[in-house]
Amino acid sequence: MKTFKTIQIEIKDKIGVLKFNRPDQLNAMNRQMMDEIIEGIHFINNNDNAAVAVIYGAGRAFMAGADIKEYGSQTTEEFEAFQEKGKQLYAAIEGASKPWIAAVNGFALGGGFEIALSCDMIVASDRAKMGLPEVFLSLIPGGGGTQRLIQKIGINRVKEMLFFGGQFDAETMYNWGIVNHVFVDDRFLVEAMNFAGKLSRRPKNSIAQLKRLANLSLTEMAFEKKIEDEANTVKALFLHDEAQTAIQNFIKKSEK
């Protein structure tokens, strides 16, 4: 397996793990790290041994956004290239057939929080802090934060997070519907991997189609077309040998 400088990749027990690894910089993302993250995501997406993927960060942070020193010194061309690479990163997570889980172990701010928002689910340590603080730099989130956030919570909460740029704790994010589960910090990674492990045991074809259809519900396609797609998908799965075997096994168990 390839060795990276700013991330670590591991495939174990059907779980692909991508670990941000710049702990001395709170895993702040520079251009090299972005390139490596994109490569790591594609590696896990294309690895048949990984049924589910988990992202977390080394040290005290998940990711504290972009590396501001490098970010602030970019030329216009470098800035545009950085933004374009960001689109590729989020698209690689959202477009994957397998589910991605953000395991937010600490600070997830700016681009770090946007990466978490692009994942299918978020679990968080009880010491995690999340937010979009770009307003303090007279900027706005540039990685889809203004749009992905509204897909998960109401507009008033979105505006509060964006306008004030504050950091919000895991319990608040759970109550607002952004975080799926909050785990105590001293058992966080164990619980996060247990959560991912349960998901890895679900049939991958069903999970892939469930992810696709759930994401399709957020598009502007006509509702009737979405329902038609769902009907065609369940028919195709029903006729597949995997489902037929599972159905017959269920019937046999119920008859005992």
Q: What is the pLDDT along the chain (256 residues), one digit of tens a residue?
A: 778 999 999 999 999 999 999 999 999 999 999 999 999 999 999 999 999 999 999 999 999 999 988 988 999 999 999 999 999 999 999 999 999 999 999 999 999 999 999 999 999 999 999 999 999 999 999 999 999 999 999 999 999 999 999 999 999 999 999 999 999 999 999 999 999 999 999 999 999 999 999 999 999 999 999 999 999 999 999 999 889 998 998 988 887 7
Catalytic one among 36, 39, 114, 228? 114
| Residues 220, 95 share a domain | no
| Residues 145, 38 share a domain | yes
Q: Which domain holds residue 234?
A: 204-254
The answer to whether 70 is a known catalytic residue is no
The answer to whether 36 is a known catalytic residue is no
Listed in sequence order, the residues at least 6 apart from 10 whose beta carbon sits closer than 8 Å to its beta carbon are: 1, 16, 17, 19
Taking only the tens place, the pLDDT of each residue in 208-247 is 999 999 999 999 999 999 999 999 999 999 999 889 998 9
Listed in sequence order, the residues at least 6 apart from 149 whose beta carbon sits closer than 8 Å to its beta carbon are: 117, 132, 158, 161, 162, 178
What pLDDT shows up at residue 255? 78
| Residues 190, 229 share a domain | no
Catalytic one among 10, 80, 134, 224? 134
**R_g of the chain computed on alpha carbons:** 19
Structural domains counted in the chain = 2
